[in-house]
Amino acid sequence: MPALARKAGIPTRALTPDSALEGVAEVVQRYCDGDVDAFDALEVRQPGGPFMQACWEALRTVRGGTVVSYAELAALAGRPRAVRAAGTACASNLIAPVIPCHRVVRTGGDLGNYGFGVPLKRTLLRFEGARD
């Protein structure tokens, strides 16, 4: 991780280990090195109701380099007609890109929105090989 910190301009002396985050830096490094499914190795949880949890669980099955539509996400989560609620689940995701809501696009392929900005969504999808 020190090499990545140096690239980002973060002084390595500012990095202090946190045992609760053990292994996370290595997973992030693997992702940055091109293992676009590296985040699958992390156990995650965040607050949200049953449908949001179902959406987030379904999102973790969407492999890097692929996308699903909001409608497909709603179906994967067990409620095919809850397309807007699937969008809300994406917008409520606190741990992107670990739960990869950037892999959800509009029906027809348009990128749609992303809480961290559409340019970042586009960049992540290109990095993962889902877009040219």
Q: Is 101 a catalytic residue?
A: yes
Query: How many Å apart are CA 73 and CA 55, to the nearest integer?
Result: 7
Query: How many Å apart are CA 53 and CA 126, to the nearest integer?
Result: 27
User: Which of the following is catalytic: 32, 55, 90, 101?
Assistant: 101
Token code pair at residue 81: 């007609």
Token code pair at residue 14: 């500012």
Question: Rounded to 5 degrees, what angle do the CA atoms 51, 25, 6 make?
Answer: 130
Query: How many Å apart are CA 25 and CA 31, to the nearest integer?
Result: 10
Query: How many Å apart are CA 88 and CA 26, to the nearest integer?
Result: 30
Active-site positions read 101
